[in-house]
Structure 1
Amino acid sequence: MRTETALASAGIDPASVVSAEQLGGGTYNTAIRLRLADGRRLVLKIAPPETGLSYEHDLLATEAEYYRRTSGPLPSVVGAGPGFLLMTELPGVPWAEAPDADPRRRAELGGIVAGLHRTTGDGFGYPQDPPHPTWPEAFTAMTDAVLADAVRFGVRLPRPAAEIAHLVRRHEPLLELVSTPVLVHFDLWNGNILLDGPRISGIIDAERAFWGDPLAEFVSLTLFRDLDEPLVSGYRDAGGPARFDLPSRRRLALYRVYLDLIMVVEMTPRRDSNAKRARFLTTRLTEDLDAVQRAL
């Protein structure tokens, strides 16, 4: 889709664009920063012509729904349609580009996430797919889909896909503890958290959100690091619904496996030939599968 078409669909005269700059850092959609003659600063996201993994369809509609339904430091939707999303640009730079070990900022992040998790729904799973009545059904279907993608793309996994699927099903009683669908961002690593000076100024890239267990959020919040007390305390103090007891940590291990699977499998349709990254992610998946196995 051309930029002009997306702008016109949102009721904006394409001639009002003063500058357009493609943004880097994304791995799926194309993002373009726009400056308008009236001073507005917008971001236009355009979906690729082909999907990769099974769940990667209509993701921009999911992102628009997330911003419209959730309260927090989020972009405002200016326009949306098939294959595009136009939204306001938030101030700041990705936390990944401005690392800061100040524990108060992690506590602030925990409070923001607790606020995001006040958005609940009527069914479980990805918003772009038919809802499931229970979380075990939804999570099993989500895992089965990425395992089917692994088979379809010929991805070598550290264990057979059928064995991994069976391992997930053996943990369904744990998943039955989740009864309320919460809108989970599931991509809250530091690249999608914006900092503007001393404060967190924005949460972006919510295209991979799903209705599920709020505990799953902590997989990306602690990507490649341990669960830290400032984050947990900030979350609890703001009324976050999740607990961090032993059953919760076992569920968290399952969700790590799910994210590992996505990161390993998506390398093939994206034609990512980085052997070092592949080895690292496969090792991580192996370790997380072993941890889930030991929990039985």
Structure 2
Amino acid sequence: MDQVEVVVAHSERATLRVGEVFLKVDADQTRIDVEVESMAMAPVPTPRVLWRKPPVLAITAVPGTALGCLGEPSAASSAAWAATGTAIRKLHAAPLPPRPGRAGRGTDALAAELDGECEWLVANGVLPADLVTRNRQVAQSAFRPWTPVFTHGDLQITHVFVDGDEITGIIDWSEAGQGDALYDLATLTLGHKERLADVVAGYGTDVDLDVIRAWWSLRSLLAVRWLVEHGFDPFAPGCEVDVLRSQM
């Protein structure tokens, strides 16, 4: 333990790694509450909570390596992706947590937020109007009735760890709660549509692929401004803007 690694840092929160311990610093204690509660309830491998002293949460590292990274090819096997689908299905079948999560936003509020972001993207010349319009049309399929399940809410592939073909841990539960199951599947496969078939095979039930594609558009449209304003690059190869272009 000879150095402190900054895993992620922006104005809302920061995560540091010191040896095999992660320190999560978050001014919003509700997010920390959700993370601790959700990891205790989730029927899948998660980090272990070591201690908590607001605004800091200390958790253990999970073994293995991340399933992949947005913008880069995933070196994980098809079996590992399928195992991830199986783990997600187990999570979605678990008893509901007590509160809605990021994947549980109401349709009206979400549609209004999406319309506002689309307007901002075009008005500020961030993205071409035809690209935004087409993806707004694709995103419409996500606005349909759904049955709430226990969702992770931010199931990026960097949050899933594997060792060979086995899941060793899922991290970052601050957005977990009741929500739309297909949001989790879409978040996991964002930018890696070639892996969707493996995930669905492991998930083991029928999945509406048009809704998955709708969530790819919706999530990307909502993310671009936040990423730009927090120092990230949604225009990097394989990332959110490329996802939007692929929907054309």
Q: TM-score, normalised by structure 1?
A: 0.63
Distance apart, 1:20 and its partner CA = 6.4
Is this contact kept in 2: 1:58–1:83, CA < 8 A? Answer: no
Residues of 2 paired with 1:169 and 1:233: CA distance?
A: 24
SS of equivalent residue, structure 2 residue 68: helix
Quote the RMSD (CA, aligned, Å). 4.1
| 1:175 to 2:144 alignment | yes
Is this contact kept in 2: 1:125–1:138, CA < 8 A? Answer: no
Q: Mind listing any 5+ residue stretches in structure 2 that lack a counterpart?
A: none
**Residue pairs, 1:57-72, within 5 angstroms:** 58-72=30-44
Residues of 1 paired with 2:135 and 2:157: CA distance?
A: 30
Q: Mind listing any 5+ residue stretches in structure 1 that lack a counterpart?
A: 1-17, 36-40, 52-56, 237-241, 291-296
Distance apart, 1:257 and its partner CA = 1.9
SS of equivalent residue, structure 2 residue 106: helix
| 1:93 to 2:65 alignment | yes
Residues of 2 paired with 1:215 and 1:257: CA distance?
A: 13
Q: TM-score, normalised by structure 2?
A: 0.73
Shift in alpha-carbon separation, 1:169–1:81, aligned structure 2, 3 A: farther
The total of aligned residue pairs comes to 240
Residues of 2 paired with 1:100 and 1:271: CA distance?
A: 27
Distance apart, 1:46 and its partner CA = 0.6
Distance apart, 1:76 and its partner CA = 2.5
Matched with 2:202 is 234
Higher relative contact order (CA 8 A, sep 6+): 2
Matched with 1:243 is 206
Distance apart, 1:66 and its partner CA = 2.1
Distance apart, 1:270 and its partner CA = 0.7
**Residue pairs, 1:1-296, within 5 angstroms:** 21-24=4-7, 29-34=13-18, 41-47=20-26, 58-80=30-52, 82-96=54-68, 99-121=74-96, 125-126=100-101, 138-145=106-113, 147-148=115-116, 156-159=126-129, 171=141, 175-176=144-145, 178-179=146-147, 181-196=148-163, 199-226=166-193, 227-236=195-204, 243-244=206-207, 248-272=208-232, 274=233, 276-277=235-236, 281-285=240-244, 287-288=246-247
Shift in alpha-carbon separation, 1:140–1:124, aligned structure 2, 3 A: farther
Is this contact kept in 1: 2:83–2:199, CA < 8 A? Answer: yes
Residues of 2 paired with 1:141 and 1:124: CA distance?
A: 17
Q: State, as a whole percentage, how many aligned pairs show the same letter.
A: 20
Residues of 1 paired with 2:42 and 2:175: CA distance?
A: 14
Shift in alpha-carbon separation, 1:46–1:123, aligned structure 2, 3 A: closer
Shift in alpha-carbon separation, 1:59–1:249, aligned structure 2, 3 A: same
Higher Cα Rg, which structure: 1
Is this contact kept in 2: 1:140–1:168, CA < 8 A? Answer: no
